[in-house]
């Protein structure tokens, strides 16, 4: 197997970026923008998930995606009746180009404060789309809160996929009930990830193990993620349109996703450990 260097991955050249460059997937294919629950709205493409958290004092955007995805996000925000220029804070899932490459453009268009987990800052500094400096206005630590207009998001360090991979949680009100929402950064092991004897990220396997424990400890009612495939977006959205119970309220789906990813991680780790001893 040909391994992609972890350094390249941390610079934002993730497997998704490579596939996009090869035009095997239309990463910017629009998807119907919609209210997920409470003040949480989906404004991403079919493949790359972005979320708008609305408040009376302006809005929070989670994930700018590729720079070429930003017009898709903007159109989705405006289709929902919100102003793109009302975005005051920009957050991200992790330092891969398919989630945070568009940060500079979003800041240019909105003036939003860009915030990122400290462990991802070096990789983001090297993510310079079109030669533009990657903006970072606030460096976050594990457990930090981001507040705007009565809404509070909590940054949870769930490292492994990147050194600063971040899962965001918030509580929302909908229909007279309170719900715990989680936007999973990623806990997947991409093709080419080196889990054993990784000189660029020596503690990658330990970080994955810790992150699985952190994620399993979170109270989650509504499961969202950096890719719609994480939480079956294309299946659940048509169900949402039909009415009835909100399909995004899916704590068991969150657990099932973690189970699948942890099984894959363990298998990949064992495979690489065995290969290293030969």
The reported pTM is 0.91
Compute the distance between CA of residue 100 and CA of residue 80 in angstroms, rounded to an integer: 22
Domain presence at residue 250: yes
Looking at residue 193, its pLDDT comes to: 97
Domain presence at residue 240: yes
Looking at residue 70, its pLDDT comes to: 98
Looking at residue 120, its pLDDT comes to: 98
Looking at residue 25, its pLDDT comes to: 85
Domain presence at residue 184: yes
- Identify the domain containing residue 125 by its residue range: 6-276
State which residues of the chain have pLDDT below 50.
Answer: 1-23
Domain presence at residue 158: yes
Looking at residue 6, its pLDDT comes to: 35
How many domains, in total, are found in the chain?
A: 1
Q: What is the CATH number of the domain that holds 118?
A: 3.60.15.10
Domain presence at residue 1: no
Which tens digit of pLDDT belongs to each residue from 162-210? Answer: 999 999 999 999 999 999 999 999 999 999 999 999 999 999 999 999 9
- 3-state SS record for the chain: CCCCCHHHHHCCCCHHHHHHHCCCCCCCCECCCEEEECCEEECCECCCCCEEEEECCEEEEECCCCHHHHHHHHHHHHHCCCCHHHEEEEECCCCCHHHHCCHHHHHHHHCCEEEEEHHHHHHHHCCCHHHCCCCCCEEECCCCEEEECCEEEEEEECCCCCCCCEEEEEEEEECCEEEEEEEECCCCCCCCCCCCCCCCCCCHHHHHHHHHHHHHHCCCCEEEECCHHHHCHHHHHHHHHHCCCCCCECHHHHHHHHHHHHHHHHHHHHHHHHHHCC
Looking at residue 19, its pLDDT comes to: 41
């Amino acid at each position: 197997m040909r391994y992609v260097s972890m350094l390249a991955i941390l610079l934002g050249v993730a497997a998704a970026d490579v596939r996009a460059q090869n035009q095997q997937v239309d990463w910017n294919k629009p998807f119907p923008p919609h209210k997920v629950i409470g003040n949480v709205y989906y404004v991403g493409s079919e493949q790359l998930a972005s979320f708008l958290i609305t408040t009376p004092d302006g809005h929070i955007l989670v994930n700018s995606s590729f720079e070429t995805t930003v017009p898709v996000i903007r159109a989705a925000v405006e289709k929902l009746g919100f102003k793109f220029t009302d975005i005051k804070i920009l957050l991200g899932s992790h330092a891969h180009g398919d989630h945070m490459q568009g940060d500079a453009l979003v800041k240019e268009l909105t003036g939003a404060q860009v915030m990122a987990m400290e462990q991802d800052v070096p990789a983001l500094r090297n993510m310079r789309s079109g030669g533009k400096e990657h903006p970072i206005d606030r460096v976050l630590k594990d457990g930090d809160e981001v507040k705007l207009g009565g809404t509070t998001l909590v940054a949870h360090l769930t490292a492994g996929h990147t050194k600063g991979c971040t899962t965001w949680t918030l509580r929302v009100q909908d229909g007279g009930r309170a719900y715990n929402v989680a936007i999973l950064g990623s806990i997947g092991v991409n093709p080419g990830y080196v889990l054993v004897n990784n000189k660029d990220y020596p503690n990658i396997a330990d970080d994955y193990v810790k992150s699985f424990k952190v994620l399993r400890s979170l109270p989650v009612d509504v499961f969202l993620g950096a890719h719609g495939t994480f939480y079956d977006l294309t299946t659940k959205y048509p169900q949402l349109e039909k009415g009835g119970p909100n399909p995004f309220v899916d704590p068991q789906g969150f657990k099932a996703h973690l189970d699948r990813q942890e099984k894959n991680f363990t298998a990949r780790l064992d495979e690489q450990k065995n290969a290293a001893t030969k």
